[in-house]
A and B are shown apart, each in its own frame.
Chain A
Amino acid sequence: MDTIQRTLVLFAHPRFENSRIHANLLNHISQLPGVRIHDLYEYYPEFNIDIKFEQELLLEHDIIIWMHPFYWYSAPPILKQWIDLVLEHGWAYGKNGNELKGKTIFNCISSGGPRESYQKDGFHNYTVNEFLRPFERTATLCQMNYLPPFFVHGSHKISDEELENLGKLYHDVIKKITQEIIILSEIQQYDYLNDWIVNR
């Protein structure tokens, strides 16, 4: 592929000033060509999302990332607000709603719990992928390709060194997806994008 895929990071963190994980992850990707970080809480402190503007942004990008901490097995409220308002019927889905067709989308999430706790017999009883079904279905309904999440586990206890490694991994994931030809079905076999990038 000769052109770089443009990437839109829909970033939602209500208390970003206290965040260590997301600050680090963003640092690693902000300089990548074609990446636009769109800070929703900074843009819409009163939650009044500009639908038209958001739709135009989506049209300008090929890869969308929902980047957020994992609160109560889901995303912070502004991201739900964004989904409710921006993904309009007749535009994103439904009859004639084909504007997002073929775009690629995934979540980038941080969570306090370790990976082991998100298992059938673990503390949370379900896997992360199962918890993300609503996002997956939303993407599919909009005819987008939904990839497994990039996931940071144990965020409270993570060491600086580990975090730095994760940041680099995140950077590699985006770089690869945007700059190389990828085979979707291959990626979709993995639970996390972390696993995919490490195994390659």
Chain B
Amino acid sequence: MAEDFLLSAIIFLGAAIVCVPIAKKIGLGSVLGYLIAGILIGPFVLGFVGQEGQDIMQAAEFGVVMMLFLIGLEINPKEIWVIRRSIFGIGSIQLALSSIVIGAIFHVYYGLSHATSFAIALSLSMSSTAIILQTLKEKGLNKSSAGQAAFSVLLFQDIMVIPILAFLPLLVTSDIRNDTLEQTFISNLSPLLKTITVLGAMASIIVVGLFIVAPLMKMIARTRLRELFTATALFLVISVAYVMKLVGISPALGTFLAGVVLANSSFRHELESDIEPFKGLLLGLFFIGVGSTINFQLIYQKPVLIFMLVLLIMLIKGIVLFLAGKTFKIKFDQNILFAILLSQVGEFAFVLLNFSGQLQIVSPDWTELLMVVVAISMTFTPILLLLNERLVDPFFGVKEAAEIKEADNIDNQHSVIIAGFGHFGSTIGRFLKANGIKATILDNDSDRVELLRKMGFEVYYGDATRVDLLKSAGAEKAKMLIAAIDSPDINHEVIEVARKHFPNLKIMARARNRFDAYEILDLGVMNIYRETLYTSVHMAVDVLHELGIRHYTATRKAQDFIRYDEDAMRKLASSRHDTKTYILTVREQIELEEKLLSEDLHQQMTERDSAWDSATLKG
């Protein structure tokens, strides 16, 4: 058994190690990489794994649970309140319309009973949280309007899983033995009591999170045992998921709630960095599992039926989403993206279909068939997104490049490329424009791109990590690339790509903070601008001034401090390599911070300032 486990681990991880980097390199994204890995090792290609793919998937679904916990951590309750309208608005339209249309098709066209069609329709209306959120994050589209709307719909679906699970047994017409059903703690309670239990469980998450977990975390942190903290974090997530499962709520929703509760705690970042690797690994396993369970034999037997179903379902879902997006005034480009993003059937469908199968609402044949449909639709999503990005967008939506105008012959025009035109990049762009320098802008938010073009900026729309996009934006002739993308990961990628393919391009990089700056230094960039340095020091000057220090003196001190701090950054950046790791853990970050502070003491920043001092003259 142990050997089996080790061997499986080797196969799964090995497949991921081989496939994911290749998929990323050719621009397919990690999700498709994992799926392909799964297909490869599955029973129908290499046959390394057989039916255990299904089991792995169940365990790996926990990755989705962790992902929602992490998402919860990044959102505070106020933000949810802000998007409540789109959660319940777009969310309910999507679920209702999709399930009605899909249900009707199964009933009318395939002649299934009302109950069966309805159960299938509800299952297939769900979208894949795992694929969508992973994709959004990888492409840096979290904050775009499509990303926000997608998140709202997913959240609504997560919420709806509870009532749907409660509702499905009501569709049962035939006599079935109750013990075939998965028993939950509350199965036998009356509906009112059920509701109370569910609400009680949610309330207890909030109370326990606020009054027990936070102090507990503080205590654990004091032991200074890192692994104990990790254990606590895992314990927290797993027990929330378990309790939720016990009372019949989706574990993902429960952990999401727990995440939101802890979003304002001081341990947020530690929790994030502890759970993150587990989540990533489990999600990867989950995708591999999906890939390996695709039943190719069934596809071989009924190719037409299966692909018809996949296309039909994705088309219906896509159209419904597009209409829903339209009523919520999402712009064309973003709406297309939104529709494609959510058009696949998600992991909840596995759960719901299994459950319907147990209830004998859906026959085993159909269950198996639809499982394949779900898995294929998941595989299609990354491909569709890619097609959208390369083929649809350039022709129908916001163009990658604006119509070619008479080229400006002035030397300085477009010698600067700004990648990322959020708050940071746009400030640079506006300043350059005010000084008569027209920069070329790369951005992946179509709403923003349209606006910018209206304002007369030259904007290229798309993923700035793509060599061809950089090339068409003029990276070969430009003097400078300003890497100002919000997400540090994507920013690093842009820098790497640019350094590799356009070695003559001078790179000026935005860095989130000191640690981000270290990593950019490692990429060989000399001009690094930390978001947190200049503004903080500028503010500190005003603080000193408010305290009665002379303005000019405070300003001089600030300039000295910035110079000192940049020296220290470079010094510490090289010393950091003692730790031999690329990505810094929280503990290493704290150690570096300690080094920095003690360096400050040696430097004696408070040393007597001898500028314009006449003491030595007085003798």
Q: Real complex partners, A and B? A: yes
B192 CB to nearest chain A CB (Å):
69
Q: A112 to B553, Cβ gap below 8 A?
A: no
Q: A42 to B552, Cβ gap below 8 A?
A: yes
Q: A45 to B618, Cβ gap below 8 A?
A: no
Interface size on A, residues (CB 8 A): 16
B96 CB to nearest chain A CB (Å):
60
A199 CB to nearest chain B CB (Å):
31
A66 interfacial contact with B, CB 8 Å: no
A126 CB to nearest chain B CB (Å):
20
A46 interfacial contact with B, CB 8 Å: yes
Query: Which residues of chain B come closer than 8 Å to A14, judged between CB atoms?
Result: 552-553, 611-612
Q: Nearest residue in B to A13 (C-beta to C-beta)?
A: B612
Query: Which residues of chain B come closer than 8 Å to A42, judged between CB atoms?
Result: 550-552
Per the 8 Å Cβ criterion, residues 548-577 of B in contact with A are 549-556
Q: Nearest residue in A to B614 (C-beta to C-beta)?
A: A156
Query: Which residues of chain B come closer than 8 Å to A161, judged between CB atoms?
Result: none
In the bound assembly, the distance between CA atoms of A137 and B550 in angstroms comes to 32
Per the 8 Å Cβ criterion, residues 152-192 of A in contact with B are 155-157
Q: B612 to A45, Cβ gap below 8 A?
A: no
A120 interfacial contact with B, CB 8 Å: no
Q: Which of A18, A41, A156 has the most CB of B within 10 A?
A: A18
Q: B617 to A41, Cβ gap below 8 A?
A: no
Q: B614 to A41, Cβ gap below 8 A?
A: no
In the bound assembly, the distance between CA atoms of A45 and B549 in angstroms comes to 12
Q: A41 to B618, Cβ gap below 8 A?
A: no
B423 CB to nearest chain A CB (Å):
23
Q: Give the interface size class of chain B.
A: 10 to 19
Q: A112 to B617, Cβ gap below 8 A?
A: yes
The digit string for A42-55, where 1 denotes a CB below 8 A from any CB of B, is 11011000000000
A56 interfacial contact with B, CB 8 Å: no
A12 CB to nearest chain B CB (Å):
10
Q: A15 to B613, Cβ gap below 8 A?
A: yes
Set A43, A45, A76, A112: member contacting B614, Cβ < 8 A: A112
A16 interfacial contact with B, CB 8 Å: yes
In the bound assembly, the distance between CA atoms of A98 and B549 in angstroms comes to 39
A84 interfacial contact with B, CB 8 Å: no
Query: Which residues of chain A come closer than 8 Å to B554, judged between CB atoms?
Result: 45
Query: Which residues of chain B come closer than 8 Å to A15, judged between CB atoms?
Result: 550, 553, 611-613
Q: Nearest residue in A to B549 (C-beta to C-beta)?
A: A17
A-B contact pairs, 23 of them (CB 8 A): A14-B552, A14-B611, A15-B550, A15-B553, A15-B612, A15-B613, A17-B549, A17-B550, A17-B553, A18-B612, A18-B614, A41-B552, A43-B551, A45-B541, A45-B554, A45-B555, A45-B556, A46-B555, A71-B612, A76-B612, A155-B614, A156-B617, A157-B618
Besides the known contacts A16-B550, A18-B614, A45-B541, 13 further A-B residue pairs in the complex with CB atoms under 8 A apart: A14-B611, A15-B611, A15-B612, A18-B612, A41-B552, A42-B552, A43-B551, A45-B551, A45-B554, A45-B555, A71-B612, A155-B614, A156-B617
Q: Show the binding face of B for A, using Cβ within 8 Å.
A: 541, 549-556, 611-614, 617-618
Query: Which 7 A-B residue pairs are closest in the complex by CB-CB distance?
Result: A45-B555, A41-B552, A15-B612, A45-B551, A156-B618, A45-B552, A42-B551
